[in-house]
Structure 1
Amino acid sequence: MCLALPARVVALLDLETATIDLGGIRKKISIALVPEVQVGDYVIVHVGHAIGMLDPEEAEATLKLFAELAA
């Protein structure tokens, strides 16, 4: 089973690396598979790699659901 999480891009470090924010945790990830990503975009992250982009409304709804499940 694979698990990928939505996260917001907060900084582009170079052409293939970005910093994401996932619930207050910041992590450096590869964006080689989504080179069109910009700061503020939401991506799906799997084992340190952005594997796709998400619509902001969909990402926020998913993050809200995760927060409700954690409570």
Structure 2
Amino acid sequence: MNCNIVYVGIDVHKETFSLCCYTNEKEQAECPQKVDAHYSKVLNYLEAMCFHYGDDVMFICGYEAGCLGFTLYH
């Protein structure tokens, strides 16, 4: 399986999530976006990033584990 690995960082706040992508090849954050604080918005972002990075992309997501991160965990 040969796929692109894209790391997605998520800064979780009560009203919004801030997202961006990072790849080892470019070594910089790109595609920053602020969305409403709902997991479906994160899924929409990932779908849009499939078009940007290609269908063979694998996302590895990371976010803070504080009390506001539980909605993403569940």
Bigger fraction of residues in helix: 2
Question: Normalising by the residue count of structure 2, what TM-score does the alignment of the two structures yield?
Answer: 0.29
Select the structure of larger CA radius of gyration: 2
Question: Normalising by the residue count of structure 1, what TM-score does the alignment of the two structures yield?
Answer: 0.30
Bigger fraction of residues in strand: 1
